Structure 1
Amino acid sequence: MNAPETFRVPGPSERSAGSNDRGIHAIVPAYRAQEYIGKCIKGLRDAGFRDDEIIVVDDCSPDQTAQTVRSLGIEPVALAENVGAAEARNAGAAVSNADILLFVDCDVVVQSDVRDRVAAFFASASSYSAVFGSYDNSPECRSPVSRFRNLLHRQVHVESRGDAVTFWTGCGAIRRESFEAVGGFDSEQRMMEDVRLGLKLHALGRKIRLDPAIQGKHLKRWTLSSMFRTDLFDRAIPWTRLLRTRIGRASSYALNLSLRGRISGIAVAGTLLGCAVAVIQPFVGLATVLGSFGLLIWANRSFLRELLRISGPAQAMLAVPLLWLHYCAACLGFAYARLKP
């Protein structure tokens, strides 16, 4: 496959008329993905995708990503410069003429039933434009931080199942007609481009479904620093800026903006306030800190119970300070984006 000269989403009359395959194509943007891409492709093959239904877009990776893909018998869409995930996904969509576009992150291994589940959903839910799933409950990396971060992401999706106003490209599918209706992914949105696409679909009255039964295994390794940086710069700040746009103002009830998250933010602020008060009134400050941690635990009790069931008491106890750090990054990002749009 050759990269198109431009990455806008082609209209119906511009797509290739030579192929009679109007089914589902998997589109995988890949950058510095040599560690993961082989497992990702194997997962898609195990799910029933033929090689000509798997479109890997190498976003000018400096490592061996493109060579690894070729060694597996798939010719990647090779971009001449690094353009970011949004534009890379648009490039993949531009060389596909399938009716359904399944976007999969390069560090995700889809379960073997994903193709069948996606096909069945669109066959039975004609009024829906898109569907996305969640991570499974057994991330590959077993380190405490990685398990916490991946399982927390899963829990948000599980608790938010049903109709949604956002989209997720970790493992999410969309009808081509709807993808074209919103102009694909916004190339200027370097982070949270999938959320923005979902908000645009919602603004047009297109229906989106979150079905946690559509699952993939996350391969990413998390550290404390990478988790904090991602939550701050790649999640909280772009999320807050999206909410200040026209399409974002009506989404205060959207994914990641639950009452649980807001209460957790209050708990984080309470602990910081308690630490400040403790300098003058130690007993009052300590009581405030302990009460705030209690509020954080109460707000996230369903996640902590699930973590206890899956990983045991040590992981559940460690999750409390990790939750605090996660929501601290969210609060800092919100404040920064509000003060400096």
Structure 2
Amino acid sequence: MDDSTLTISLIIPVHRNHEPFQACMASVRNLKPAPDEIIVVADGDPEGAALAGSMGIQVVETTVAGGPGAARNRGAEQARGDILFFLDADVMVYPDATDRLHKLFAEEPEIAAVIGSYDDQPSEPNFLSQYRNLLHHYVHQNASPEGSTFWGACGAIRRVVFQDMGGFDERYRYPSVEDIELGCRMRQRGYRIRLDKALHIKHLKRWTARSILYTDFFRRALPWTAIILRDRRLVNDLNMKTSDRLSVAASGLLFAATAGSSIRIEMLMVTGLMAGMLFMLNQPIYGFFYRKRGLWFAVKSVPWHWLYFLYSGLAFLIGIVRHGLGLKSVERG
């Protein structure tokens, strides 16, 4: 088939969070050209099914919530398009998304999938939501265009490739790393993924301290560690670049030195060295925060960023121990 005639099926799983979903659907109506079909998967969500139905949207309804991976699979089973375009229900898509996908898949027929990026204008005004979403934006904007994984929030994949891969792993019962896991399997099979840094979505999620810590540790770091150990492959991309790995080590040494300074005053020197190392390694992102939101925002982001490195390293160590003991991966229901 001529890639210029490829059709696009837009698939959106929804589970409860209906206000962002309505904003998402409003943005979908502005897509130019419009998708060839739109499928909303109400994942154990009768209200979401009724809401989508009232919009005249094709609805696939599940009686029990199986998680976003399973919901996307159910939508893909009903889709007829050549390209499956997955979008989260708590994002707003930019109007040129489908046009960009048509052009990318047509111009690069060897590409199996395309992923996008959060924009730099998060909707929620509180500091943690701004920090978290700007961090994600920065990571994607500074990653390799030769993608190392898939992204379910805004990702498109050729239907034949999706079927060949068996879709998302449905053992992930909650939003986790089911998209990353699919991308890792795709790369192992030799499929190419393109990161289009201009394919933007706006994240509508409000982040709190609790949601960041819980999601990052239990839904991201621990299960991602399990994938790394399973595949025995650690990519130098996204948030796992060499500078990030060094930052994880430095944050652990900083914590240990700070704790040990009450016993040995010499540890204060180590504390200072590690703090300086962390700042220098991550100066580019702090400069980005400063340019986007000012000095005070950048200053406030530093302890949260260092804490992120610390608990990511802890999760990696716990994951290694669990893997060695043959324990079940904790992110799966």
8 Å contact kept, 2:45–2:61:
no
Q: CA RMSD in A?
A: 1.7
Measure the CA separation in 2 of the matches of 1:88 and 1:49: 25
Q: What residue is the counterpart of 1:198 in the other structure?
A: 183
Q: What residue is the counterpart of 1:37 in the other structure?
A: 21
User: What SS does structure 2 have at the residue aligned with 1:46?
Assistant: coil
Comparing 324-333 with 142-151, greater Cα deviation is found at: 324-333
Measure the CA separation in 2 of the matches of 1:239 and 1:79: 27
Q: Select the residue among 316, 319, 333 that pairs with 1:337.
A: 319
Measure the CA separation in 2 of the matches of 1:71 and 1:112: 22
Structure 1 segments (4+ residues) deviating >4 Å? 49-52
Structure 2 gap segments, 5+ residues each: 324-333
Matched, 1:286 2:271: no
Q: What residue is the counterpart of 1:228 in the other structure?
A: 213
Counterpart amino acid of residue 135 in structure 2: L
Kindly state the Cα deviation for residue 255 of structure 1 after the two structures are TM-superposed. 3.2
- Superposed counterparts of 1:1-341, under 5 Å: 23-48=7-32, 50=34, 53-61=37-45, 64-190=47-173, 191-245=176-230, 248-282=231-265, 284-341=266-323
Indicate how the Cα distance of structure 1 residues 287 and 71 shifts in structure 2: closer, same or farther if over 3 A, else same. farther
8 Å contact kept, 1:166–1:254:
no
- Provide, for residues 50-92 of structure 1, a one-character-per-residue CA deviation record: whole Å limited to 9, x for no partner: 5862211111137x32232223232421101111111100001
8 Å contact kept, 1:37–1:69:
no
8 Å contact kept, 2:129–2:205:
yes
- Provide, for residues 187-206 of structure 1, a one-character-per-residue CA deviation record: whole Å limited to 9, x for no partner: 11342111111111111111
Indicate how the Cα distance of structure 1 residues 103 and 219 shifts in structure 2: closer, same or farther if over 3 A, else same. same
Measure the CA separation in 1 of the matches of 2:299 and 2:119: 21
Kindly state the Cα deviation for residue 250 of structure 1 after the two structures are TM-superposed. 3.0
User: What SS does structure 2 have at the residue aligned with 1:256?
Assistant: helix
Measure the CA separation in 2 of the matches of 1:102 and 1:136: 18
Measure the CA separation in 2 of the matches of 1:285 and 1:221: 39
- Identity of counterpart residues, as a percentage? 37
Kindly state the Cα deviation for residue 97 of structure 1 after the two structures are TM-superposed. 0.9
Kindly state the Cα deviation for residue 278 of structure 1 after the two structures are TM-superposed. 0.7
8 Å contact kept, 2:128–2:207:
yes
8 Å contact kept, 1:165–1:251:
no
- Provide, for residues 11-61 of structure 1, a one-character-per-residue CA deviation record: whole Å limited to 9, x for no partner: xxxxxxxxxx95111111111221211111111111136586221111113
Measure the CA separation in 1 of the matches of 2:256 and 2:301: 21
8 Å contact kept, 2:8–2:35:
no
Q: What residue is the counterpart of 1:4 in the other structure?
A: none
Measure the CA separation in 1 of the matches of 2:235 and 2:6: 36
Kindly state the Cα deviation for residue 150 of structure 1 after the two structures are TM-superposed. 0.6
Indicate how the Cα distance of structure 1 residues 277 and 176 shifts in structure 2: closer, same or farther if over 3 A, else same. same
In the superposition, the TM-score normalised over structure 2's length comes to: 0.91
- Provide, for residues 141-199 of structure 1, a one-character-per-residue CA deviation record: whole Å limited to 9, x for no partner: 11111111111111111111311221111111111111111111111134211111111
State the aligned residue count.
317
Structure 1 gap segments, 5+ residues each: 1-20
Comparing 28-37 with 229-238, greater Cα deviation is found at: 28-37
In the superposition, the TM-score normalised over structure 1's length comes to: 0.89
